[in-house]
Amino acid sequence: MAEMAIWLLAVYVCSSLLVMLLDRWAKQMRSGVEYPYVHYRLLVRDSEQVLESTVRLLLFRSYWSGKPVRITLHDEGSIDDTPQIAALYKRYPYCWLDDGQDSTSRSTIIIDLRKKEAGA
């Protein structure tokens, strides 16, 4: 009889804890507060060779640091497949194509992937 009472008490405590955690999670989801993220702005021009590996590296770093990431791609007139690769990344929630406005803030990290021209 005592064993049954202990089991019932344990089940009650576990279910109360689960309800409390689910309530806290639901409140957090309803709050709509946007968590701070690390914003990277990639300047690209003829950068098809390094664009994908750079984005993957930033996502890997975001995964291990636990901080969300936002990546903005700013293409400066590429003539290779860089615009097509950038268009593929547009469908992901962490990646935006630059709309031409200079929206860099102090916390934006700018990474220059532009291929240097032969004469420069």
- Better-predicted residue by pLDDT, 100 or 20: 20
Please give the pLDDT value at position 25: 84
Q: Residue 115: what residue type? A: K
Cα torsion angle, 57, 116, 90, 84, sign: negative
Judge contact between 51 and 81, C-beta under 8 A.
no
Are 15 and 68 found together in one domain? no
Here the CATH number for the domain that contains residue 99 is 3.90.550.10
Assess whether pLDDT exceeds 70 at residue 37: yes
Residues 52 and 107 in one domain: yes
Residue 13 belongs to some domain of the structure: yes
Cα separation, 77 vs 86, in Å, equals 12
28 and 64 within one domain: no
Same domain, residue pair 15 and 63: no
> Contact at 8 Å (CB) between 94 and 59?
yes
Cα(113)–Cα(118) distance, integer angstroms: 15
Give, for 64, the enclosing helix (H) or strand (E).
Answer: helix 48-65
**Is residue 49 within 8 Å of 117, Cβ to Cβ?**
no
Q: pLDDT band at 87, cuts 50/70/90?
A: confident
- Structural domain range at position 17: 1-33
Q: What is the pLDDT of residue 32?
A: 61
* Range 25-40 average pLDDT: 75
User: Is 44:78 a contact under the CB 8 Å cutoff?
Assistant: yes
pLDDT of residue 17: 93
Rounded to two decimals, the pTM is: 0.62
How many independent structural domains does the chain possess?
2
Asked if 68 and 93 sit in the same domain, the reply is yes
C-alpha–C-alpha distance, residues 109 and 120, integer Å: 25
